[in-house]
Structure 1
């Protein structure tokens, strides 16, 4: 047992827990899944697929942006959302590949 150790540094574990806590909502996981399929999407595009109120969607997007999960880019009157860290999409691959979900 003496050779057993935590292989990931503490700061990375803390960041992972912070991000996973933010993402622990079906709607937020859906947003990540959609942004994995398309490089970037507007609130209107996301709302059309997710079929939720714009105010609730904006709440989720703001929370995810504030936590560094999503980034934004403005073009004219449109704000596009994108995954700030592409490795986040690995979570969707884990969910899809899991037999227990």
Structure 2
């Protein structure tokens, strides 16, 4: 019985740690805008995001890199382009809560 309790506690701790990590990564207006666009349009590459957000390509790339490293975004290479999307259910839920 004690093992079940510790397993549930470990699962809860993992969920809380992941939630905190997601919030830390999304704690920048540009990153929130990027995730919002990806949720609306499903998948976009850097050039498409750069045009939508009217930001330098290097700025968009830096934010994508950070979110990708923290597994907030997933990506898929198609030829020479990389398309980004939000697949993580917890990230989607967090963004919907934040964006109202």
Output the TM-score relative to the length of structure 1. 0.81
2:82 aligns with 79
Unaligned 5+ segments in structure 2 are: 1-8
Contact 1:68 1:84 survives alignment (8 Å): no
1:56 paired with 2:59, answer yes
Pick aligned residue for 1:15 from 9, 18, 33: 18
For residues 36-73 of structure 1, give each alpha carbon's deviation from its aligned partner in whole angstroms, at most 9, with x where no partner exists: 11111010100001111111110000000000011111
* Cα distance in 1, alignment partners of residues 18 and 98 from structure 2: 20
Unaligned 5+ segments in structure 1 are: 1-5
SS at match of 1:81: strand
Pick aligned residue for 1:41 from 44, 69, 84: 44
Deviates more, 1:86-95 or 1:34-43: 86-95
Output the TM-score relative to the length of structure 2. 0.82
Q: Which runs of 4+ in 1 moved over 6 A?
A: none
Greater per-residue helix proportion: 2
Alignment root-mean-square deviation, CA: 1.7
